[in-house]
Amino acid sequence: MAGLKAQEYAFLVLAVIGSISAIAVVLARNVVHAALYLVVTLLSVGGVYLLLGAEFVAWVQILIYVGAIVILFLFGLMLTKAPIGRDTLDHQNRWIGGLVAAGVFVGLVFLVQDAFRVQDAVAAPTFRTTTSMVGKSLFRDYVLPFEAVSFLLLAALIGAIVLARKDDVA
């Protein structure tokens, strides 16, 4: 295994921060703290995208995840009761979940190690993509999924309004 490059050091820092805060999301006793740890995780994932050369995806990640989805979560937490404490937030038999999650992690690490062999992996040159490349690819090769996603977003918009509306208004 050759020495680490500067980008790999940056990646390791981001990965450690992201992993710790991802674990904190699922272990936090306070729901608002969990949402804020989620912000840290999403930001570090965005940084990983930048390091991988996916500039547009990184900014979309920060705009949509950090900007919109986490705000939605905070709204959801404020509109419902936000209890504090592990006993009210977690199942009593959470050790089964821990067991399954540990099994998934060990299995995935074993699979990755088996398939890609971290000790003789070589770093490929970074595939830098610009926004114009993303746009060309999106509207040339991926038009059909794009339209499907726009239809899905419309359906979700209408569905959310119908679901959350108070019945006595209608």
Name the token pair of 152: 């899905």
Smallest gap from Cβ 102 to other proteins, in A, equals: 7
Check: CB of residue 91 under 8 Å from CB of residue 97. yes
Q: Among 118, 144, 169, 170, which residue interacts with other proteins (rule: CB under 8 A)?
A: 118
Q: Is 169 in the site for other proteins (CB under 8 A)?
A: no
CA distance 170 to 158: 15
For other proteins, the binding residues in 9-68 under the rule CB under 8 A are 11-12, 15, 18-19, 22-23, 25-26, 31, 34-35, 38, 41-42, 45, 48-49, 51-54, 56-57, 60-61, 64-65, 68
Check: CB of residue 28 under 8 Å from CB of residue 37. yes
Q: Among 98, 132, 144, 170, which residue interacts with other proteins (rule: CB under 8 A)?
A: 98
CA distance 134 to 55: 10
For other proteins, the binding residues in 127-156 under the rule CB under 8 A are 127, 129, 133-134, 137-138, 141-142, 145-146, 149, 152-153, 155-156
* Class of residue 46 by CB neighbours under 10 A (exposed 0-12, middle 13-18, buried 19+): buried
